Chain A
Amino acid sequence: MPDRNDSTDPTNDTESNDTDGIGDGGGDPPRDPTLHRPDGGTTVLEDDRDAELDRGPLQQWAANSISHPERVYRAMFYVAAIFFLFTTLFPFYWLLMVALTPEGQLQDIVFTPNGFNPGAFVEVFQVIPFHVYMFNSFVIALGSTIVVLVIASLAGYAFGRLQFPGRTPLMLLVLVISFFPPAAFFIPLNDLFNTSFAFLRPITGDGTLYNTPFALVTPLSAIFMPLAIFILTTFYGQIPDGLEDAARVEGTTRLGALFRVIIPLSAPGVATAGVLTFIAVYNEFFFSFLMTDGQPENWAPILDGILAYQGQYQVLYNLMAAASILGVIPVAILVVIAQEKIVSGLTAGALKE
């Protein structure tokens, strides 16, 4: 099914016309410059269409802000945006400075590195096979995300759209898992995953799940599932019944309606649940530490890799910083991809009611 959202997200064209001044925040001339944005924002940037008047941007802004208080909202918006950008990005910048500082010179870093050693980004791979750790984490995170989304979708559908006795207690039961510190699961799971099961012998050799991706995907899926179930329950519950009805009359099963209508329409929620699960698993340490021996060839995740730069008394901060910057890249890419889904207001025009 062609994905229409790509083409309707105005950000696609905004990149290309960076010509006019700050006064025209929302303007992308070829589209409808009004409020019916496909993924539309709520409020702030709406009244900015006479920006093409022939005046200096600043003058114009000043003049307009008197007659249109929306201008002030927009100014506030930009201040807020820049503030958020700065506060979220500064620690990254600082991390980069740490990475660029040569080992042993980690002192008094403010806005510039103490020395300049971009080689750290190469060294990261020389000291240990960091890419293997990254790959492991990626595979495990992907696997868990898929498992979580599928299973949680079913549960979220049941919780969000069906009425049945015991719904609330069962939801609370799911929630209860998140009450416990992960360590509470340690001893039993440690036993469980080191127990040898005859039926697993052909698959894993010694019959235990230890050191296999299954040993990571299974518990990690379970641990991060409550969040996904709750998110999906919320979003699925909000899809108007009318759309599901229409799908079912058209010939889908209940399950078919879930996958064809409800999930696509909950795209923001599904994508969010996916991103959150992926990131959580990707960076998870506690359980992966339990289920593997920390060897890259045994599916040890990225965090094992990052910690490998720690010595007995010394920490290679520059390499750790470089490694974590590299490690964040796949997630950043994922976010770039998923955000198209996260921001797609899809219910518009659905129903007349």
Chain B
Amino acid sequence: MTTEPTDGAQSGAEPETGAETITDGGTLTGGDMERSRERDRTGNAVINWMENLSEAAYAYLLLLPAFALLALIAFYPLLRTFVMSLRADQTRGIDPLGAFVGVENYVDILTGNARLARQFLDVGLTSSFPFVELGTQFFQQALFVTLAFAVISVVLETVIGFGQAYVLDQDFRGRRWVRVAIILPWAVPIVIQGMIFFLLFQPTVGFGSDLMQSLGIFSATPLANSRDAFIIILVADIWKSSAFMALLILAGLQSIDRSLYDVARVAGASPWQRFKMITLPLVMPALLVAMLFRTMDAMRVFGLIESTAGCTTVPSLTCLVVEAMFGGTRIFATAAAVAFATALVIGLIISIYVLLFRDTEGGMY
């Protein structure tokens, strides 16, 4: 990649004048250079072609590999999955899909009539305040669980991650080890993360359950109780994913030109003001990327739930997709529809980001 299209002008002509100093390299006449540059231009056709592309054409060229890969691995499968979501489920026979049914699967999902153990959304309208009622309890409706999880976890992780990044950004003895330590949870496979918290809150094994119970926060069987399990999963996720935030924010912090802090310090900014007026705006682009992807990840939480409390106790949107897809009863069309519904929900959330941060300096959307 880094092979340079050498400007043959100089390299070609230089050997003859090599013995001379630059300042008296007068034999290197303009004519020579011109000729050799011509040669160079023809010699590296591809690079010159690339170099002389317009900015837009060049951009498209650079995007080509990424989009080629994504098209094959992502866009094409998604298209097929989408088509799948428009057909009927078929639990028997070799063909997994039935007739074309249009948006029927989506309607079922949104009305709580899908063939799912936990519903995507199950609210009914009532005549009395607040005019809606939950068909099943809050923590057993995938949409609510997922939204609550995403909002709470992303907010807490952002705050904690920022704190961690701020600590890691300081100069102190042994800081490299602290850095590794703080980043390490991110390196733990989700299954193990789940196992740790599963065992911690398994009354016979860990002390987490007793501890929380004695504090009056948890019931006796936290892993079977939707609300308690939700909190456990939240804690587990914060433990692991704060490191993700910290890592990205740290990188953002590190990219800030230090002389700006000097200016601010002389101008009389307190540490907090420096943070608010310099650090935060300058780290914002990195922070936004981190939050954006954390939000999307949190909205798709699954493995952690599966390996701690189980999808029944804390059903997330992805739980529904996975259960439908791999649950044994072949309801691929429903699964596909839930997947697209999930994507739609995430898309809505993301568009809130896009709207909120549209004008942020460095915002790219």
Chain A interface residues toward B at CB < 8 A: 10-11, 14-15, 18, 25-26, 35-37, 39-45, 73, 77, 80-81, 84-85, 87-89, 91-92, 94-95, 98, 106-110, 150-152, 154-155, 157-160, 162-165, 167-168, 170-172, 174-189, 192, 218-219, 221-223, 225-227, 229-231, 233-235, 237-238, 251-256, 259-260, 266, 268-269, 271-272, 275-276, 279, 282-283, 285, 302-303, 306-307, 317, 320-321, 324, 327-328, 331-332, 335-336, 339, 342-350
Contact = CB atoms under 8 A, between A and B. Distances in A.
Contact of B185 (A39, A91, A110, A181): A91
B351 to A, nearest CB: 9
A276 B318 CA distance: 22
Given A88-B185, A269-B286, A26 B172 contact: yes
Given A11-B175, A177-B74, A222-B74, A88 B81 contact: no
B77 to A, nearest CB: 4
A170 B63 contact: yes
Contacts of B1: 150, 255, 259
A42 B293 contact: no
A179 B350 contact: yes
Contacts, number: 385
Contacts of B243: 88
A335 B197 CA distance: 24
B347 interface: yes
B257 A347 contact: yes
A18 B173 contact: yes
A219 B73 contact: yes
Given A39-B254, A185-B77, A279-B187, 16 more contacts: A37-B258, A42-B170, A45-B171, A109-B199, A159-B364, A163-B59, A178-B297, A179-B346, A183-B321, A186-B325, A189-B73, A234-B289, A235-B255, A275-B247, A283-B188, A342-B251
Contacts of A95: 192, 196
Contact of B251 (A42, A179, A186, A269): A269
Q: What 6 pairs between A and B have smallest CB-CB spacing? A: A222-B73, A188-B77, A184-B339, A331-B187, A164-B56, A268-B251
14 contacts: A10-B171, A15-B174, A37-B258, A152-B66, A155-B62, A185-B77, A187-B80, A187-B81, A187-B84, A188-B81, A230-B289, A253-B51, A256-B2, A347-B255
A222 B72 contact: yes
A332 B184 contact: yes
B69 A11 contact: no
A151 B66 contact: yes
Nearest to B82: A184
Contacts of A272: 247-248, 250-251
B302 to A, nearest CB: 7
A128 to B, nearest CB: 15
Contacts of B56: 162-165
B335 A183 contact: yes
A346 B192 CA distance: 37
Interface string B279-292: 10000011011001
Contact of B63 (A154, A269, A349): A154
Contacts of B354: 172
A172 to B, nearest CB: 7
B248 A231 contact: yes
Interface of B: 1-2, 4-7, 47, 50-51, 55-56, 58-60, 62-63, 65-67, 69-70, 72-78, 80-81, 84, 96, 163-164, 166-176, 178-192, 195-197, 199-200, 204-207, 239, 243-244, 247-248, 250-259, 261-262, 265, 271, 274-275, 279, 285-286, 288-289, 292-293, 296-297, 300, 302-303, 317-318, 321-322, 325-326, 332, 335-336, 339-340, 342-344, 346-347, 350, 354, 362, 364-365
A171 B364 contact: yes
A263 to B, nearest CB: 9
A260 B187 CA distance: 30
Given A94-B196, A269-B286, A35 B172 contact: no
B274 A77 contact: no
A152 B76 CA distance: 20
Contact of B174 (A14, A107, A303): A14
A218 B69 contact: yes
Contact of A171 (B2, B325, B365): B365
B187 A234 contact: no
A218 B74 CA distance: 11
A162 B74 contact: no
Given A188-B80, A279-B187, A41 B69 contact: no
Nearest to A87: B239
Contact of B339 (A89, A181, A251): A181
Contacts of B47: 253, 255
Contact of A164 (B6, B55, B257, B325): B55
Contacts of A167: 59
